[in-house]
Structure 1
């Protein structure tokens, strides 16, 4: 310490935080600021960085409220950017009172000082980043000539899949199937290439890409409906079983976000509980060329997602950087 520093340094007892200005970003602003194409590219870079060990994603602790829901804390950090912590609540009963069953908030902190930088809504990010990672898997694993996609589900995840799928392939048709046909009709009306279908089996049998995006507690399709050369993705969370037939994950080339997919819910995927992690390929390793992507036009590829903190970090940083570029300033005092 220099003599000047010695003269001006104050003891910890003399220092108080005082008023700190923090940027706040609402759900509507998050949705406006987050570019879907940039998110897909950012996630690809994020998966590579994760596989290289460049992103810290420590275990996410959970608080469980019996018979109600749970809260997860999801931190992540990559050198050169802010520290991110997302708090996400999953309460299934919310749908009965017109609230989303996933509610989240994201905090960003300066990595040099720990000073809070931004508080933003995380509900929209939770929805779109999960779908974006699944659609990213289709970008790299579906056949180049894929022309028909089926989305099974008509909720938040299905909505985001419908928005993102056209960014990775020029589909001739996007078929939408749901437990409630009227929900599929409402969702399909959002895209001129989308059609609601009642017969899920017939849709899957003619599809090149199948996106499972339901909240089903048992498989929503059968493994033998899937024709050779199809890419399957699954983002639904409903343990102990879930929407994805175990045979698809067990018998075909399986991709996951990271090894946490094999942990017990709510961290991992119920469909993977009897599958050894060595059977799977981390998507980041495949994007780095360390493990194979699709190797021929006949194999079936499967991507099972849970949603990880790296994805929230990528999305939140994109939102924050764009907000700064637009001149947004701190709006709250703590």
Structure 2
């Protein structure tokens, strides 16, 4: 299995490098295309530079929702090191970001875990939390049960035991970890969760979309992967009308995890620095 723990550590190091002025990534360029969006994301540090180009088409059924590539070059010379599949890299580094946040913020990181969604991100998040946190009680929920059952069978082939539950409310009722990885524009589970739940909201990436109930967001401690990007794209927080002064970026808790009581919501919208971390881990 891919080493998600190592990637989570690599992401932490890149965030520290940005904080020290040694890693850089501008805000991503978004260009509308029919049915979706084209995203261009460069990033660099002292060793490696990348440009990630992807398309995101949420309505795709016969093709992947995310398609594209990541060009990796040596920062000092521009020599091409690799061209990586953006779909797989995005899936793995996103799960590693959620793993890093859960390691720092979850009150009960051993689970149970409920993953809502049955796509590529659901697979990598199950793998990451199984490997990086030792979670063994894992539930899958999908509006298309057959997709969840197919994913459960695929994971069983990797030696990972998960069970499919019919309703999100049943899946989250006693879960200490909840991960949402859908393209839904509306909340995908009820605000009926344990008091110390950790939620990683992953799937929605527009200001209009929200997977997490606004009532839960308003009473939770709030964290994001990147504050500047979240202010523009994190619909889960924007629709809840959060006070951004109360939202903490991931890089702010790397070396001193906060003492928390009550629910935690971690919103990830993605950032090229995470792709840089993955590219370095794979290519150096």
With the length of structure 1 as denominator, give the TM-score of the two structures: 0.77
Alignment of 1:12-51 (within 5 A): 35-51=3-19
Determine the structure 2 residue equivalent to 1:136.
Answer: 100
1:252 to 220, 225, 232: 220
Alpha-carbon shift at residue 238 of structure 1 (Å): 5.4
Determine the structure 1 residue equivalent to 2:113.
Answer: 149
Determine the structure 2 residue equivalent to 1:199.
Answer: 167
How many residue pairs match? The answer is: 277
CA RMSD after TM alignment: 2.0
Alignment of 1:1-334 (within 5 A): 35-65=3-33, 67-79=34-46, 81-95=47-61, 98-144=62-108, 146-189=110-153, 190-191=155-156, 192-223=160-191, 225-237=192-204, 239=206, 240-264=208-232, 268-273=233-238, 274-289=241-256, 292-293=257-258, 295-296=259-260, 298-321=261-284
Task: Give the 3 Å change call, closer, same or farther, for CA 276–49 of structure 1 in structure 2.
Answer: farther
Alpha-carbon distance in 1 for matches of 2:193, 2:16: 29
Larger Rg: 1
Alpha-carbon distance in 1 for matches of 2:51, 2:116: 31
Alpha-carbon distance in 2 for matches of 1:209, 1:112: 42
Task: Give the 3 Å change call, closer, same or farther, for CA 55–181 of structure 1 in structure 2.
Answer: same
Alpha-carbon distance in 2 for matches of 1:103, 1:254: 30
Alpha-carbon distance in 1 for matches of 2:279, 2:179: 25
Structure 2 unmatched runs, 5+ = none
Note if contact 1:234-1:243 (Cα within 8 Å) is conserved in structure 2. yes
Note if contact 2:45-2:75 (Cα within 8 Å) is conserved in structure 1. no
Alpha-carbon shift at residue 110 of structure 1 (Å): 2.6
Alpha-carbon distance in 1 for matches of 2:132, 2:193: 21
Segment of structure 1 superposing worse, 310-319 or 131-140: 131-140
Task: Give the 3 Å change call, closer, same or farther, for CA 69–233 of structure 1 in structure 2.
Answer: same
**Runs of 4+ with >4 A deviation:** none
Structure 1 unmatched runs, 5+ = 1-31, 322-334
Note if contact 1:131-1:157 (Cα within 8 Å) is conserved in structure 2. yes
